[in-house]
Amino acid sequence: MKSFSSSSFANDDAEVLDLALAAVNKHPQALFTDFQWFLYEARDTVFFTAASKSHFDKETLGNLVADMVALAPQLSHGFVGARPGQPFPKHLLDAITHVEEVDDFDGYPDKWVSKSPDIFARDDLPLFRVSAVVRRGGPDEMGRASMIQVRSSHALLEGSDSALLTRSASAGHGVMSDKANKVGLGARIKGTLRGWGMTFMYVTLANILAPPDKPWGFKTLALKRHRLRLLANKLGVRQRSLMFALVTHALNGEGEDRHMSKKVIGAAYTMLDGKRHDADDDFFRVRALEAKFEVIDDFVAYVRKVDDTIDKIEKKDITKFQVMMNSMFKALRGLNRIAPFLPGKRFWRFNGGIHIVLTLVPPHRTYGPMTHGMMEPIYCGAWHPAANICTFCPGREYITLNFSMETRHIANVEKIEQLLQKVEAMDVAPTGKVIVEDDTV
């Protein structure tokens, strides 16, 4: 049987388009990879929002959506009646766009961010929505005429797609794995066995131990990039280590009032890696890594320990964890085919001891017609039912921190700025280390 990637249809090959259409007619998510299937079933969502100097109405918003679908053809997948790679008719554009007038932008984007369950409410509509709020009376004193928000199933978009679209560049995926770079048979067998073992263990534990739904909150924070760069250099650590440490230290609290852990913070973090292999997912570029950050009250000691931890992790073969995770996604999908009631609703609320997910997306730098008039700061984040998530979104001038987490943690977000000011004022002894940053920040 002919296989497809999620963007095999961004072309004019009539045969490929016909085969793709036949597949989605049988099942709307037939073209999803195992990783895409996992995020779709979990109802994971992502969002992008920013202010704009442009005034939006239904027509201009519809034109924007048409441009997005042309650059990211995967947005045309995954729903009943989908025609992969083809433009949307007007009735679909009207259904997934919304424009509202407001007196001001106070409270945005925070009051706009949510779990986005409406994306999945109808199976005959595309799995994303685009909205704009427009200021009555024209631009405010900052030049903001509108704010725009894109919300999508995480199965269709990842952080690198958002960064590409912000630059008006193609976000089509093609086949993301490298079939020529073979994972060794032993490593593949070991990863597969671990994946199946983790699947059965997680399904069992989740249906026994998963907590009930918890109150959830969303908050954003914008910080100047130069400010973080200066402090990272002062402390002798990577910028991402500084950001990870600021967030986890502030959210965890101090002394006996620990919100996450008194000893070790279990974290998962994501990064892009160019060394692809044949066991990689065919859609997603991102790689996940697992870290444990030892809790230390002294922040300078803590951030340097976080930096050392990251250094050790990334010097190892970072493909192993993702190979295991991909095997787990495949096993879960296979299990669901055999027994559709599994993995069960409780499974998606089980976090397996991970206190927080730290996601650093590629730089979002506006360029070209797609983001003409768009202004920083740019906000980009995600929601997953079992994960406290902080997404770091670098722009030219700002880095935004986008929080989706249990409400009990949201109140501690304001402590990040307080901690930052405190450390900036410290007289810190240099480490003598030379830190080489990549272009992610």
Angle between helices 185-209 and 319-338 (to 10 degrees): 60
State pLDDT tens for residues 352-404. Answer: 889 999 999 999 999 999 999 999 999 999 999 989 999 999 999 999 999 99
Using CA atoms, how far apart are residues 400 and 379, in angstroms rounded to an integer?
6
Q: Which of the listed residues 166, 193, 224 is the one where a domain comes to its end?
A: 166
* Residue 20 falls inside a structural domain: no
User: How wide is the angle at C-alpha 326 spanned by C-alphas 325 and 327, nearest 5°?
Assistant: 90
Question: Do residues 36 and 119 both lie within one domain?
Answer: yes
Confidence of residue 26 (pLDDT cuts 50, 70, 90): confident
Question: Do residues 38 and 150 both lie within one domain?
Answer: yes
Predicted local distance difference test score (pLDDT) of residue 357: 97
- Domain with residue 117: its CATH number is 3.30.559.10
Using CA atoms, how far apart are residues 12 and 107, in angstroms rounded to an integer?
44
* Residue 391 falls inside a structural domain: yes
Confidence of residue 203 (pLDDT cuts 50, 70, 90): very high
Predicted local distance difference test score (pLDDT) of residue 340: 94
Predicted local distance difference test score (pLDDT) of residue 1: 27
Confidence of residue 189 (pLDDT cuts 50, 70, 90): confident
Question: Do residues 155 and 220 both lie within one domain?
Answer: no
Return the amino acid letter for 84.
P
Confidence of residue 13 (pLDDT cuts 50, 70, 90): low
Question: Do residues 150 and 247 both lie within one domain?
Answer: no
Nearest to 148 by CA among 62, 47, 51: 51
Residue carrying the six token digits 């005034």: 55
Question: Do residues 257 and 357 both lie within one domain?
Answer: yes
Predicted local distance difference test score (pLDDT) of residue 27: 86
> What average pLDDT does this structure show over 61-90?
93
Predicted local distance difference test score (pLDDT) of residue 440: 52
Question: Do residues 284 and 405 both lie within one domain?
Answer: yes
Total domain count for the chain? 2
State pLDDT tens for residues 283-332. Answer: 998 888 899 999 999 999 999 999 999 999 988 766 677 778 888 999 99
Per-residue pLDDT for 435 more than 70?
no
* Residue 432 falls inside a structural domain: no
Question: Do residues 281 and 365 both lie within one domain?
Answer: yes
Q: Give me 132's structure tokens.
A: 């704009």
Angle between helices 159-166 and 58-71 (to 10 degrees): 120
* Residue 325 falls inside a structural domain: no
Predicted local distance difference test score (pLDDT) of residue 322: 75
Q: How much is the pTM?
A: 0.91
Percent of the chain with pLDDT over 70: 88
* Residue 311 falls inside a structural domain: yes
* Residue 403 falls inside a structural domain: yes
* Residue 414 falls inside a structural domain: yes
**Burial tier of 6 (Cβ tally within 10 Å: 0-12, 13-18, 19+):** buried
Per-residue pLDDT for 87 more than 60?
yes
Using CA atoms, how far apart are residues 57 and 210, in angstroms rounded to an integer?
44
Instruction: List CB contacts of 207: < 8 A, sequence separation 6 or more.
Output: 343, 344, 346, 347
Per-residue pLDDT for 191 more than 80?
no
Mean pLDDT of the chain: 89
Q: Give me 363's structure tokens.
A: 């730089």
* Residue 15 falls inside a structural domain: no
Question: Do residues 143 and 247 both lie within one domain?
Answer: no
Q: Give me 72's structure tokens.
A: 């990211």
Residue 373 is classified by DSSP as: T
Using CA atoms, how far apart are residues 75 and 158, in angstroms rounded to an integer?
12
User: How wide is the angle at C-alpha 383 spanned by C-alphas 380 and 388, nearest 5°?
Assistant: 105
Question: Do residues 128 and 254 both lie within one domain?
Answer: no
Q: Which of the listed residues 136, 151, 166 is the one where a domain comes to its end?
A: 166
Per-residue pLDDT for 228 more than 70?
yes
Domain housing 404: 210-319+351-424
Question: Do residues 234 and 139 both lie within one domain?
Answer: no
Using CA atoms, how far apart are residues 413 and 411, in angstroms rounded to an integer?
6
Per-residue pLDDT for 24 more than 50?
yes
